[in-house]
Structure 1
Protein backbone atom coordinates (compact mmCIF):
# COMPACT_ATOMS: atom_id res chain seq x y z
CA UNK A 1 0.00 0.00 0.00
CA UNK A 2 1.50 3.37 -0.99
CA UNK A 3 2.00 6.30 1.38
CA UNK A 4 -0.93 8.30 -0.01
CA UNK A 5 -3.26 5.39 0.64
CA UNK A 6 -1.91 5.06 4.19
CA UNK A 7 -2.62 8.72 4.89
CA UNK A 8 -6.11 8.79 3.41
CA UNK A 9 -8.78 9.60 6.03
CA UNK A 10 -11.95 7.57 5.64
CA UNK A 11 -13.78 8.76 8.78
CA UNK A 12 -13.47 12.17 10.45
CA UNK A 13 -15.34 12.30 13.77
CA UNK A 14 -15.53 14.84 16.57
CA UNK A 15 -12.91 13.09 18.74
CA UNK A 16 -10.87 11.00 16.32
CA UNK A 17 -10.23 10.17 12.69
CA UNK A 18 -9.74 6.82 10.99
CA UNK A 19 -7.28 6.22 8.16
CA UNK A 20 -7.76 3.87 5.24
CA UNK A 21 -5.13 1.50 6.65
CA UNK A 22 -7.17 1.18 9.88
CA UNK A 23 -5.12 3.52 12.07
CA UNK A 24 -7.04 5.66 14.56
CA UNK A 25 -5.77 9.11 15.52
CA UNK A 26 -7.45 10.67 18.55
CA UNK A 27 -7.51 14.44 18.87
CA UNK A 28 -7.04 14.58 22.65
CA UNK A 29 -4.75 11.69 23.41
CA UNK A 30 -3.42 10.25 25.60
CA UNK A 31 -5.34 11.45 28.66
CA UNK A 32 -3.23 12.87 31.45
CA UNK A 33 -3.37 10.68 34.55
CA UNK A 34 -2.39 11.49 38.11
CA UNK A 35 -1.86 9.11 41.05
CA UNK A 36 -4.31 8.88 43.96
CA UNK A 37 -3.52 11.23 46.81
CA UNK A 38 -4.85 12.11 50.25
CA UNK A 39 -6.29 15.62 50.31
CA UNK A 40 -5.14 17.52 53.42
CA UNK A 41 -7.84 20.17 52.96
CA UNK A 42 -10.95 17.99 52.66
CA UNK A 43 -9.57 14.90 54.37
CA UNK A 44 -10.60 12.71 51.42
CA UNK A 45 -8.35 9.68 50.90
CA UNK A 46 -8.10 7.88 47.58
CA UNK A 47 -6.57 4.73 46.14
CA UNK A 48 -6.70 2.69 42.95
CA UNK A 49 -7.99 -0.86 42.82
CA UNK A 50 -8.17 -3.62 40.23
CA UNK A 51 -11.77 -4.60 39.65
CA UNK A 52 -11.12 -7.23 36.99
CA UNK A 53 -8.17 -8.53 34.99
CA UNK A 54 -10.26 -10.11 32.24
CA UNK A 55 -11.56 -7.75 31.04
CA UNK A 56 -9.12 -5.16 32.47
CA UNK A 57 -11.19 -2.82 34.65
CA UNK A 58 -9.86 -0.64 37.44
CA UNK A 59 -11.25 2.14 39.61
CA UNK A 60 -10.31 4.93 41.98
CA UNK A 61 -11.99 4.85 45.39
CA UNK A 62 -12.52 8.01 47.44
CA UNK A 63 -13.11 7.85 51.18
CA UNK A 64 -14.24 11.08 52.87
CA UNK A 65 -13.22 12.17 56.34
CA UNK A 66 -14.94 9.97 58.92
CA UNK A 67 -15.93 11.78 62.13
CA UNK A 68 -17.41 8.49 63.32
CA UNK A 69 -15.60 5.43 61.87
CA UNK A 70 -18.58 3.20 62.65
CA UNK A 71 -21.03 5.34 60.66
CA UNK A 72 -21.82 3.84 57.24
CA UNK A 73 -21.97 6.16 54.23
CA UNK A 74 -23.81 6.09 50.90
CA UNK A 75 -21.91 4.79 47.88
CA UNK A 76 -21.54 6.57 44.55
CA UNK A 77 -20.44 4.79 41.38
CA UNK A 78 -19.21 7.50 39.00
CA UNK A 79 -18.82 7.05 35.24
CA UNK A 80 -16.68 9.65 33.44
CA UNK A 81 -17.56 11.22 30.11
CA UNK A 82 -15.49 11.72 26.98
CA UNK A 83 -17.50 10.53 24.00
CA UNK A 84 -16.94 6.85 24.88
CA UNK A 85 -13.43 7.33 23.46
CA UNK A 86 -11.48 9.75 25.69
CA UNK A 87 -10.71 10.79 29.26
CA UNK A 88 -9.98 8.72 32.35
CA UNK A 89 -11.15 8.22 35.89
CA UNK A 90 -7.53 9.01 36.79
CA UNK A 91 -7.35 12.37 34.99
CA UNK A 92 -6.98 15.61 36.99
CA UNK A 93 -10.48 16.64 35.84
CA UNK A 94 -12.30 13.58 37.15
CA UNK A 95 -10.07 13.07 40.17
CA UNK A 96 -10.99 16.60 41.27
CA UNK A 97 -14.70 16.22 40.46
CA UNK A 98 -15.27 12.91 42.22
CA UNK A 99 -13.12 13.95 45.19
CA UNK A 100 -15.30 17.06 45.52
CA UNK A 101 -18.49 15.00 45.40
CA UNK A 102 -17.12 12.61 48.02
CA UNK A 103 -16.19 15.46 50.36
CA UNK A 104 -19.32 17.59 49.97
CA UNK A 105 -21.89 14.79 49.86
CA UNK A 106 -20.04 12.62 52.40
CA UNK A 107 -20.16 9.54 50.20
CA UNK A 108 -17.72 6.78 49.40
CA UNK A 109 -17.13 7.11 45.67
CA UNK A 110 -15.90 4.60 43.11
CA UNK A 111 -14.82 6.15 39.80
CA UNK A 112 -14.61 3.56 37.02
CA UNK A 113 -11.74 3.28 34.54
CA UNK A 114 -13.46 1.52 31.64
CA UNK A 115 -12.13 0.54 28.22
CA UNK A 116 -12.45 3.16 25.49
CA UNK A 117 -13.67 2.92 21.91
CA UNK A 118 -12.90 2.46 19.11
CA UNK A 119 -9.88 0.38 20.21
CA UNK A 120 -12.24 -1.55 22.48
CA UNK A 121 -15.56 -1.27 20.68
CA UNK A 122 -18.83 -0.54 22.41
CA UNK A 123 -20.34 -2.37 24.36
CA UNK A 124 -17.02 -2.76 26.27
CA UNK A 125 -17.69 0.47 28.18
CA UNK A 126 -21.14 -0.69 29.28
CA UNK A 127 -19.91 -4.14 30.25
CA UNK A 128 -16.90 -2.80 32.18
CA UNK A 129 -19.08 -0.44 34.25
CA UNK A 130 -21.52 -3.27 34.94
CA UNK A 131 -18.55 -5.40 36.04
CA UNK A 132 -17.50 -2.58 38.37
CA UNK A 133 -20.99 -2.26 39.86
CA UNK A 134 -21.19 -6.01 40.43
CA UNK A 135 -17.73 -5.96 42.03
CA UNK A 136 -18.80 -3.18 44.38
CA UNK A 137 -21.87 -5.16 45.47
CA UNK A 138 -19.71 -8.16 46.46
CA UNK A 139 -18.82 -6.09 49.53
CA UNK A 140 -22.42 -5.88 50.76
CA UNK A 141 -21.92 -8.72 53.24
CA UNK A 142 -18.67 -7.20 54.53
CA UNK A 143 -16.52 -9.91 52.94
CA UNK A 144 -15.33 -8.24 49.75
CA UNK A 145 -11.75 -7.59 48.73
CA UNK A 146 -11.62 -3.92 49.68
CA UNK A 147 -11.75 -2.93 53.37
CA UNK A 148 -13.02 0.60 52.69
CA UNK A 149 -16.11 -0.77 50.97
CA UNK A 150 -16.54 -3.53 53.55
CA UNK A 151 -16.33 -1.23 56.55
CA UNK A 152 -17.73 2.14 55.50
CA UNK A 153 -20.53 1.68 52.93
CA UNK A 154 -24.26 1.48 53.55
CA UNK A 155 -25.36 -0.67 50.62
CA UNK A 156 -28.95 0.37 51.18
CA UNK A 157 -27.94 3.77 49.74
CA UNK A 158 -26.23 3.28 46.38
CA UNK A 159 -26.17 5.94 43.64
CA UNK A 160 -25.00 6.18 40.04
CA UNK A 161 -23.76 9.33 38.33
CA UNK A 162 -22.07 10.30 35.11
CA UNK A 163 -21.69 13.12 32.61
CA UNK A 164 -22.10 13.08 28.82
CA UNK A 165 -21.22 9.52 27.69
CA UNK A 166 -21.05 8.63 31.39
CA UNK A 167 -24.66 9.76 31.77
CA UNK A 168 -25.65 7.41 28.97
CA UNK A 169 -23.72 4.55 30.58
CA UNK A 170 -25.27 5.31 33.99
CA UNK A 171 -28.72 4.98 32.41
CA UNK A 172 -27.74 1.60 30.98
CA UNK A 173 -26.56 0.46 34.42
CA UNK A 174 -29.89 1.50 35.97
CA UNK A 175 -31.70 -0.37 33.20
CA UNK A 176 -29.63 -3.51 33.83
CA UNK A 177 -30.33 -3.26 37.55
CA UNK A 178 -34.06 -3.13 36.77
CA UNK A 179 -33.77 -6.06 34.36
CA UNK A 180 -31.27 -8.28 36.17
CA UNK A 181 -31.38 -7.09 39.76
CA UNK A 182 -28.77 -6.68 42.47
CA UNK A 183 -27.78 -8.94 45.38
CA UNK A 184 -29.86 -8.97 48.55
CA UNK A 185 -29.04 -6.04 50.79
CA UNK A 186 -28.16 -3.69 47.90
CA UNK A 187 -30.53 -0.86 46.97
CA UNK A 188 -30.00 1.51 44.07
CA UNK A 189 -31.61 4.72 45.21
CA UNK A 190 -30.93 7.09 42.35
CA UNK A 191 -28.99 8.17 39.27
CA UNK A 192 -27.63 11.55 38.20
CA UNK A 193 -27.32 12.11 34.44
CA UNK A 194 -25.36 15.32 33.75
CA UNK A 195 -25.67 16.62 30.18
CA UNK A 196 -26.16 13.03 29.00
CA UNK A 197 -25.82 11.73 25.46
CA UNK A 198 -28.99 10.05 24.16
CA UNK A 199 -28.75 10.27 20.40
CA UNK A 200 -30.57 12.74 18.21
CA UNK A 201 -27.46 14.55 16.89
CA UNK A 202 -26.39 13.01 13.59
CA UNK A 203 -22.63 13.60 13.71
CA UNK A 204 -22.40 12.23 17.27
CA UNK A 205 -24.74 9.36 16.45
CA UNK A 206 -22.68 8.41 13.39
CA UNK A 207 -19.56 8.30 15.59
CA UNK A 208 -21.36 6.12 18.16
CA UNK A 209 -22.49 3.72 15.42
CA UNK A 210 -18.91 3.42 14.17
CA UNK A 211 -17.66 2.69 17.70
CA UNK A 212 -20.35 0.01 18.14
CA UNK A 213 -20.09 -2.49 15.26
CA UNK A 214 -23.00 -4.51 16.66
CA UNK A 215 -25.36 -1.50 16.52
CA UNK A 216 -28.93 -1.77 15.31
CA UNK A 217 -29.00 1.66 13.68
CA UNK A 218 -29.95 5.16 14.78
CA UNK A 219 -32.64 3.79 17.10
CA UNK A 220 -30.26 1.46 18.95
CA UNK A 221 -31.73 1.29 22.48
CA UNK A 222 -28.36 1.96 24.11
CA UNK A 223 -28.03 5.20 22.19
CA UNK A 224 -31.68 6.25 22.27
CA UNK A 225 -33.50 4.35 25.04
CA UNK A 226 -37.13 3.52 24.12
CA UNK A 227 -40.03 4.10 26.48
CA UNK A 228 -40.30 0.41 27.37
CA UNK A 229 -36.68 0.37 28.57
CA UNK A 230 -37.15 3.53 30.59
CA UNK A 231 -40.04 1.92 32.41
CA UNK A 232 -37.65 -0.71 33.76
CA UNK A 233 -35.09 1.53 35.46
CA UNK A 234 -33.99 -0.13 38.69
CA UNK A 235 -33.73 3.02 40.80
CA UNK A 236 -36.16 5.19 42.69
CA UNK A 237 -35.25 8.64 41.41
CA UNK A 238 -33.35 10.32 38.58
CA UNK A 239 -31.85 13.81 38.38
CA UNK A 240 -31.09 15.11 34.88
CA UNK A 241 -29.08 18.21 34.00
CA UNK A 242 -29.17 19.83 30.56
CA UNK A 243 -27.21 22.92 29.50
CA UNK A 244 -28.92 25.69 27.53
CA UNK A 245 -26.16 26.00 24.89
CA UNK A 246 -25.41 22.28 24.68
CA UNK A 247 -26.13 20.46 21.39
CA UNK A 248 -27.35 17.57 23.59
CA UNK A 249 -29.97 19.76 25.29
CA UNK A 250 -32.89 18.50 23.20
CA UNK A 251 -32.11 14.78 23.50
CA UNK A 252 -31.66 15.19 27.25
CA UNK A 253 -35.08 16.81 27.59
CA UNK A 254 -36.55 14.15 25.31
CA UNK A 255 -35.20 11.41 27.57
CA UNK A 256 -36.90 13.06 30.54
CA UNK A 257 -40.24 13.31 28.73
CA UNK A 258 -40.10 9.67 27.63
CA UNK A 259 -39.22 8.63 31.18
CA UNK A 260 -42.29 10.45 32.52
CA UNK A 261 -44.50 8.61 30.01
CA UNK A 262 -42.92 5.20 30.53
CA UNK A 263 -44.90 4.05 33.54
CA UNK A 264 -41.73 3.96 35.64
CA UNK A 265 -42.71 4.42 39.27
CA UNK A 266 -39.86 6.67 40.36
CA UNK A 267 -39.36 10.41 40.59
CA UNK A 268 -37.57 12.36 37.86
CA UNK A 269 -36.32 15.94 38.09
CA UNK A 270 -34.66 17.98 35.37
CA UNK A 271 -32.68 21.21 35.71
CA UNK A 272 -31.48 23.40 32.85
CA UNK A 273 -28.17 25.20 33.33
CA UNK A 274 -28.76 28.56 31.65
CA UNK A 275 -26.21 30.36 29.50
CA UNK A 276 -23.63 27.56 29.54
CA UNK A 277 -22.43 24.77 27.28
CA UNK A 278 -21.82 21.05 27.57
CA UNK A 279 -20.16 19.96 30.84
CA UNK A 280 -19.13 23.52 31.67
CA UNK A 281 -18.52 22.50 35.29
CA UNK A 282 -15.54 20.37 34.28
CA UNK A 283 -13.62 23.20 32.62
CA UNK A 284 -14.62 25.90 35.13
CA UNK A 285 -15.27 24.07 38.43
CA UNK A 286 -15.00 27.16 40.66
CA UNK A 287 -17.65 29.22 38.86
CA UNK A 288 -20.86 30.01 40.70
CA UNK A 289 -22.92 27.90 38.28
CA UNK A 290 -20.56 24.94 38.57
CA UNK A 291 -20.64 25.06 42.35
CA UNK A 292 -24.45 25.29 42.25
CA UNK A 293 -24.58 22.18 40.04
CA UNK A 294 -22.31 20.27 42.44
CA UNK A 295 -24.43 21.41 45.39
CA UNK A 296 -27.59 20.17 43.66
CA UNK A 297 -26.03 16.75 43.06
CA UNK A 298 -24.89 16.49 46.68
CA UNK A 299 -28.35 17.38 47.94
CA UNK A 300 -29.76 14.62 45.69
CA UNK A 301 -27.49 12.11 47.42
CA UNK A 302 -28.37 13.36 50.90
CA UNK A 303 -32.15 13.49 50.51
CA UNK A 304 -33.98 10.19 50.98
Structure 2
Protein backbone atom coordinates (compact mmCIF):
# COMPACT_ATOMS: atom_id res chain seq x y z
CA UNK A 1 0.00 0.00 0.00
CA UNK A 2 1.24 3.47 -0.85
CA UNK A 3 2.28 5.21 2.35
CA UNK A 4 0.99 8.50 0.92
CA UNK A 5 -2.57 7.20 1.22
CA UNK A 6 -2.75 7.94 4.94
CA UNK A 7 -0.15 10.68 5.30
CA UNK A 8 -1.63 14.13 5.86
CA UNK A 9 -0.35 17.10 3.87
CA UNK A 10 -2.79 19.75 5.16
CA UNK A 11 -5.20 19.72 8.08
CA UNK A 12 -7.88 22.31 8.84
CA UNK A 13 -10.15 21.05 11.64
CA UNK A 14 -13.13 20.99 11.95
CA UNK A 15 -13.46 21.33 8.18
CA UNK A 16 -11.19 18.96 6.23
CA UNK A 17 -7.77 17.45 5.76
CA UNK A 18 -5.85 16.69 2.58
CA UNK A 19 -3.80 13.53 2.21
CA UNK A 20 -0.46 13.57 0.41
CA UNK A 21 -2.02 11.66 -2.48
CA UNK A 22 -4.45 14.58 -2.96
CA UNK A 23 -7.49 12.92 -1.39
CA UNK A 24 -9.72 15.33 0.53
CA UNK A 25 -11.32 14.03 3.70
CA UNK A 26 -14.10 16.17 5.18
CA UNK A 27 -14.82 15.96 8.90
CA UNK A 28 -18.47 16.94 8.44
CA UNK A 29 -20.32 15.41 5.51
CA UNK A 30 -23.72 16.50 4.27
CA UNK A 31 -26.70 14.20 4.52
CA UNK A 32 -28.30 14.47 1.10
CA UNK A 33 -32.05 14.21 0.62
CA UNK A 34 -34.01 14.00 -2.63
CA UNK A 35 -36.47 16.71 -3.66
CA UNK A 36 -39.92 16.07 -2.26
CA UNK A 37 -43.23 17.54 -1.10
CA UNK A 38 -43.14 18.43 2.59
CA UNK A 39 -46.19 16.85 4.20
CA UNK A 40 -46.55 19.55 6.87
CA UNK A 41 -46.23 22.71 4.75
CA UNK A 42 -46.93 21.51 1.23
CA UNK A 43 -43.65 23.08 0.08
CA UNK A 44 -42.43 21.25 -3.02
CA UNK A 45 -38.80 21.02 -4.11
CA UNK A 46 -37.15 20.03 -7.37
CA UNK A 47 -33.59 19.94 -8.68
CA UNK A 48 -32.41 21.61 -11.87
CA UNK A 49 -29.13 21.44 -13.77
CA UNK A 50 -27.88 24.93 -14.49
CA UNK A 51 -24.68 24.13 -16.36
CA UNK A 52 -23.90 20.78 -18.03
CA UNK A 53 -20.32 21.97 -18.47
CA UNK A 54 -19.62 22.57 -14.77
CA UNK A 55 -22.31 20.42 -13.18
CA UNK A 56 -23.66 23.37 -11.18
CA UNK A 57 -27.18 22.64 -9.96
CA UNK A 58 -29.85 24.27 -7.84
CA UNK A 59 -32.77 23.14 -5.72
CA UNK A 60 -35.99 25.08 -6.20
CA UNK A 61 -38.52 25.34 -3.36
CA UNK A 62 -42.12 26.23 -4.19
CA UNK A 63 -44.76 27.07 -1.58
CA UNK A 64 -48.12 25.37 -1.65
CA UNK A 65 -50.05 27.07 -4.43
CA UNK A 66 -53.71 27.72 -3.63
CA UNK A 67 -56.47 29.12 -5.74
CA UNK A 68 -57.31 29.17 -9.44
CA UNK A 69 -55.58 31.03 -12.25
CA UNK A 70 -54.48 33.71 -12.80
CA UNK A 71 -51.57 32.71 -10.60
CA UNK A 72 -50.24 35.38 -8.30
CA UNK A 73 -46.50 35.68 -8.82
CA UNK A 74 -44.31 35.53 -5.74
CA UNK A 75 -41.03 37.05 -4.50
CA UNK A 76 -37.86 35.04 -5.16
CA UNK A 77 -35.12 34.29 -2.63
CA UNK A 78 -31.81 33.28 -4.23
CA UNK A 79 -29.92 31.38 -1.52
CA UNK A 80 -26.26 30.46 -1.14
CA UNK A 81 -25.42 27.88 1.53
CA UNK A 82 -22.63 28.22 4.08
CA UNK A 83 -19.85 25.83 5.01
CA UNK A 84 -16.58 27.74 4.73
CA UNK A 85 -16.58 27.32 0.92
CA UNK A 86 -15.62 23.66 1.47
CA UNK A 87 -18.59 21.99 3.21
CA UNK A 88 -22.38 21.62 3.05
CA UNK A 89 -24.79 21.50 0.13
CA UNK A 90 -27.93 23.02 -1.31
CA UNK A 91 -29.19 19.42 -1.56
CA UNK A 92 -28.74 18.58 2.12
CA UNK A 93 -31.33 17.76 4.76
CA UNK A 94 -30.17 20.73 6.83
CA UNK A 95 -30.68 23.14 3.95
CA UNK A 96 -34.05 21.61 3.07
CA UNK A 97 -35.41 22.09 6.60
CA UNK A 98 -34.38 25.73 6.71
CA UNK A 99 -35.63 26.71 3.27
CA UNK A 100 -38.85 24.72 3.55
CA UNK A 101 -39.69 26.65 6.68
CA UNK A 102 -38.70 30.01 5.16
CA UNK A 103 -40.62 29.41 1.93
CA UNK A 104 -43.73 28.42 3.87
CA UNK A 105 -43.47 31.29 6.35
CA UNK A 106 -42.79 34.01 3.77
CA UNK A 107 -44.79 32.54 0.85
CA UNK A 108 -41.91 32.91 -1.58
CA UNK A 109 -40.08 30.83 -4.16
CA UNK A 110 -36.48 29.96 -3.25
CA UNK A 111 -33.58 28.80 -5.40
CA UNK A 112 -30.62 27.37 -3.48
CA UNK A 113 -27.43 27.15 -5.55
CA UNK A 114 -25.19 24.08 -5.46
CA UNK A 115 -21.83 25.67 -6.27
CA UNK A 116 -18.65 23.63 -6.47
CA UNK A 117 -16.63 23.26 -3.28
CA UNK A 118 -12.98 23.97 -2.54
CA UNK A 119 -10.31 22.67 -2.24
CA UNK A 120 -11.08 20.35 -5.18
CA UNK A 121 -12.39 23.44 -6.96
CA UNK A 122 -10.31 26.33 -5.58
CA UNK A 123 -11.82 29.73 -4.99
CA UNK A 124 -12.97 31.84 -6.77
CA UNK A 125 -14.86 28.96 -8.47
CA UNK A 126 -17.64 29.09 -5.83
CA UNK A 127 -18.11 32.79 -6.56
CA UNK A 128 -18.06 32.24 -10.33
CA UNK A 129 -20.58 29.38 -10.09
CA UNK A 130 -22.87 31.49 -7.91
CA UNK A 131 -22.76 34.40 -10.33
CA UNK A 132 -23.43 32.09 -13.29
CA UNK A 133 -26.40 30.65 -11.43
CA UNK A 134 -27.78 34.13 -10.83
CA UNK A 135 -27.39 34.92 -14.51
CA UNK A 136 -29.26 31.71 -15.34
CA UNK A 137 -32.04 32.71 -12.97
CA UNK A 138 -32.15 36.09 -14.69
CA UNK A 139 -32.92 34.48 -18.06
CA UNK A 140 -36.42 33.81 -16.68
CA UNK A 141 -37.22 37.46 -16.01
CA UNK A 142 -39.32 37.85 -19.17
CA UNK A 143 -41.10 34.53 -18.73
CA UNK A 144 -39.02 32.76 -21.36
CA UNK A 145 -36.44 30.89 -19.30
CA UNK A 146 -35.66 27.15 -19.39
CA UNK A 147 -37.39 26.33 -16.07
CA UNK A 148 -41.18 26.59 -16.29
CA UNK A 149 -41.87 26.98 -12.57
CA UNK A 150 -39.66 30.10 -12.40
CA UNK A 151 -41.34 31.55 -15.50
CA UNK A 152 -44.75 30.84 -14.05
CA UNK A 153 -44.48 31.69 -10.35
CA UNK A 154 -41.73 34.30 -9.83
CA UNK A 155 -42.14 38.07 -9.73
CA UNK A 156 -38.69 39.22 -10.86
CA UNK A 157 -39.41 42.70 -9.59
CA UNK A 158 -39.14 41.25 -6.06
CA UNK A 159 -35.85 39.37 -5.84
CA UNK A 160 -33.82 38.79 -2.67
CA UNK A 161 -30.32 37.45 -2.15
CA UNK A 162 -29.60 35.41 0.97
CA UNK A 163 -26.87 33.35 2.55
CA UNK A 164 -25.39 32.23 5.83
CA UNK A 165 -21.70 32.15 6.75
CA UNK A 166 -19.65 31.74 3.54
CA UNK A 167 -22.94 31.85 1.64
CA UNK A 168 -23.46 35.37 3.00
CA UNK A 169 -20.06 36.31 1.61
CA UNK A 170 -21.15 34.98 -1.78
CA UNK A 171 -24.53 36.74 -1.63
CA UNK A 172 -22.78 40.06 -0.99
CA UNK A 173 -20.46 39.44 -3.94
CA UNK A 174 -23.42 38.74 -6.23
CA UNK A 175 -25.20 41.89 -5.03
CA UNK A 176 -22.19 44.07 -5.82
CA UNK A 177 -21.76 42.44 -9.20
CA UNK A 178 -25.44 42.96 -10.04
CA UNK A 179 -25.05 46.67 -9.31
CA UNK A 180 -21.86 46.86 -11.35
CA UNK A 181 -23.34 45.12 -14.39
CA UNK A 182 -24.80 47.45 -17.00
CA UNK A 183 -26.94 45.00 -18.97
CA UNK A 184 -28.65 41.64 -18.78
CA UNK A 185 -31.02 42.14 -15.87
CA UNK A 186 -33.57 44.58 -17.27
CA UNK A 187 -36.88 44.11 -15.48
CA UNK A 188 -35.21 42.37 -12.56
CA UNK A 189 -35.08 44.22 -9.23
CA UNK A 190 -33.16 43.05 -6.18
CA UNK A 191 -35.20 44.45 -3.31
CA UNK A 192 -33.02 43.21 -0.49
CA UNK A 193 -30.33 40.94 0.85
CA UNK A 194 -30.21 38.72 3.94
CA UNK A 195 -26.75 38.28 5.47
CA UNK A 196 -26.74 35.69 8.28
CA UNK A 197 -23.61 35.26 10.46
CA UNK A 198 -21.27 36.31 7.62
CA UNK A 199 -17.84 34.80 7.02
CA UNK A 200 -16.07 37.96 5.91
CA UNK A 201 -12.28 38.08 6.19
CA UNK A 202 -10.18 40.91 7.54
CA UNK A 203 -6.65 41.63 8.62
CA UNK A 204 -6.28 38.45 10.71
CA UNK A 205 -4.45 35.66 8.84
CA UNK A 206 -6.70 32.78 7.82
CA UNK A 207 -4.57 29.92 6.60
CA UNK A 208 -7.51 27.79 5.51
CA UNK A 209 -8.98 30.49 3.28
CA UNK A 210 -5.53 31.14 1.82
CA UNK A 211 -5.25 27.43 1.04
CA UNK A 212 -8.71 27.37 -0.55
CA UNK A 213 -7.97 30.53 -2.57
CA UNK A 214 -4.34 30.31 -3.70
CA UNK A 215 -4.72 33.09 -6.27
CA UNK A 216 -6.10 35.67 -3.84
CA UNK A 217 -4.29 38.92 -3.15
CA UNK A 218 -4.89 38.31 0.57
CA UNK A 219 -7.81 38.07 2.98
CA UNK A 220 -7.55 41.76 3.86
CA UNK A 221 -7.20 43.10 0.31
CA UNK A 222 -9.39 40.78 -1.79
CA UNK A 223 -12.80 42.39 -2.46
CA UNK A 224 -14.47 38.97 -2.66
CA UNK A 225 -13.48 38.29 0.94
CA UNK A 226 -13.41 41.75 2.49
CA UNK A 227 -16.09 44.31 1.53
CA UNK A 228 -13.93 47.17 2.82
CA UNK A 229 -11.47 46.44 0.02
CA UNK A 230 -14.08 46.57 -2.75
CA UNK A 231 -13.98 49.74 -4.87
CA UNK A 232 -17.43 48.86 -6.27
CA UNK A 233 -19.14 48.58 -2.88
CA UNK A 234 -21.12 51.77 -3.45
CA UNK A 235 -22.68 50.19 -6.56
CA UNK A 236 -24.18 47.27 -4.64
CA UNK A 237 -27.37 46.36 -6.46
CA UNK A 238 -29.92 45.94 -3.69
CA UNK A 239 -32.06 48.36 -1.75
CA UNK A 240 -32.12 46.94 1.79
CA UNK A 241 -29.82 44.68 3.79
CA UNK A 242 -30.66 42.67 6.90
CA UNK A 243 -27.56 41.51 8.80
CA UNK A 244 -27.83 38.92 11.57
CA UNK A 245 -25.03 38.21 14.01
CA UNK A 246 -24.93 35.70 16.88
CA UNK A 247 -23.85 36.80 20.35
CA UNK A 248 -21.41 33.88 20.90
CA UNK A 249 -20.10 33.73 17.33
CA UNK A 250 -16.40 34.52 16.92
CA UNK A 251 -17.32 35.99 13.53
CA UNK A 252 -19.75 38.49 15.08
CA UNK A 253 -17.31 41.46 14.85
CA UNK A 254 -17.06 40.96 11.09
CA UNK A 255 -20.83 41.21 10.73
CA UNK A 256 -21.00 44.35 12.86
CA UNK A 257 -18.13 45.90 10.90
CA UNK A 258 -19.90 45.02 7.64
CA UNK A 259 -22.89 47.12 8.69
CA UNK A 260 -20.64 50.06 9.53
CA UNK A 261 -18.81 49.64 6.22
CA UNK A 262 -22.10 49.83 4.31
CA UNK A 263 -23.25 52.88 6.26
CA UNK A 264 -19.99 54.69 5.57
CA UNK A 265 -19.87 53.79 1.87
CA UNK A 266 -21.48 55.43 -1.16
CA UNK A 267 -24.22 52.78 -1.19
CA UNK A 268 -27.58 54.50 -0.73
CA UNK A 269 -29.63 51.65 0.74
CA UNK A 270 -30.80 50.82 4.25
CA UNK A 271 -29.09 48.33 6.56
CA UNK A 272 -30.47 46.72 9.72
CA UNK A 273 -28.45 44.77 12.29
CA UNK A 274 -30.05 42.10 14.48
CA UNK A 275 -28.25 40.09 17.18
CA UNK A 276 -29.28 36.53 18.04
CA UNK A 277 -28.75 36.64 21.80
CA UNK A 278 -27.25 33.62 23.51
CA UNK A 279 -26.58 31.81 20.21
CA UNK A 280 -23.54 30.70 18.22
CA UNK A 281 -22.67 30.55 14.55
CA UNK A 282 -25.50 29.29 12.30
CA UNK A 283 -27.36 27.78 15.24
CA UNK A 284 -30.57 27.84 13.22
CA UNK A 285 -29.18 25.32 10.75
CA UNK A 286 -28.04 22.87 13.43
CA UNK A 287 -31.02 23.25 15.76
CA UNK A 288 -33.87 24.36 13.48
CA UNK A 289 -36.65 23.52 15.93
CA UNK A 290 -35.40 25.71 18.80
CA UNK A 291 -37.36 28.83 19.67
CA UNK A 292 -34.69 31.27 18.51
CA UNK A 293 -34.40 29.47 15.16
CA UNK A 294 -38.14 29.80 14.63
CA UNK A 295 -37.93 33.49 15.54
CA UNK A 296 -35.05 33.93 13.10
CA UNK A 297 -37.08 32.50 10.23
CA UNK A 298 -40.00 34.74 11.17
CA UNK A 299 -37.68 37.76 11.09
CA UNK A 300 -36.38 36.82 7.64
CA UNK A 301 -39.91 36.30 6.34
CA UNK A 302 -41.03 39.67 7.73
CA UNK A 303 -38.06 41.39 6.10
CA UNK A 304 -38.87 39.87 2.71
CA UNK A 305 -42.58 40.68 2.96
CA UNK A 306 -42.03 44.26 4.08
CA UNK A 307 -39.35 44.94 1.44
CA UNK A 308 -41.63 43.45 -1.23
CA UNK A 309 -44.39 46.02 -0.66
Q: TM-score, normalised by structure 1?
A: 0.94
The alignment's TM-score, normalised by the length of structure 2, stands at: 0.93
Residue 20 (structure 2) aligns with: 20
Contact kept? 2:106, 2:301, Cα under 8 Å: yes
Moved more, 157-166 or 36-45: 36-45
1:277 to 274, 277, 280: 280
Provide the residue aligned with 2:290 in structure 1.
287
CA deviation after TM superposition for structure 1 residue 201, in Å: 7.9
Give the aligned partner of residue 150 of structure 2: 149
Equivalent pairs counted in the alignment come to 301
Match of 1:242 in 2: 245
Give the drift of 1:6. Answer: 5.4
SS of residue matched to 2:51: strand
Deviation at 1:186, TM superposition (A): 0.4
Identify which of 283, 296, 304 aligns with 1:301. 304
The alpha carbon displacement at 1:65 in A equals 1.4
Unaligned runs of 5+ in 2: none
Structure 1 residue 2: Cα displacement = 6.8
Question: Deviation digits for residues 134-177 of structure 1, max 9, x if unmatched?
Answer: 11111111111111111111000000101001000000000110
1:22 shift after superposition: 3.1
CA distance in structure 2 between the partners assigned to 1:67 and 1:2 by the alignment: 60
Of 192, 195, 204, 2:194 maps to 192
**Structure-2 separation of matches of 1:201 and 1:100:** 36
Corresponding position: 1:54 with 2:53: yes
Within a 5 Å distance, the mapping from 1:21-100 to structure 2 comes to: 21-29=21-29, 31-68=30-67, 69=69, 70-100=71-101
TM superposition shift of 1:9 = 2.8
Q: CA deviation at 1:229?
A: 3.4
Aligned-partner Cα distance in 1 for 2:2–2:37: 52
Task: Give the match for residue 225 of structure 1.
Answer: 227
Task: Tell me, in whole angstroms, the C-alpha distance in 2 between the residues paired with 1:35 and 1:7.
Answer: 33
The answer to whether the 8 Å contact 1:105/1:299 transfers is: yes
- Write the distance in 1 (CA, Å) between the matches of 2:180 and 2:215: 21
Q: Is the 8 A contact 1:201 1:247 kept in 2?
A: no
Shift of 1:232: 1.9
Note if contact 1:155-1:187 (Cα within 8 Å) is conserved in structure 2: yes
Task: Give the alignment's Cα RMSD to 1 decimal.
Answer: 1.7
Query: Would the aligned equivalents of 1:228 and 1:262 in 2 still touch at CA under 8 Å?
Result: no
Q: Secondary structure at the match of 1:90?
A: coil
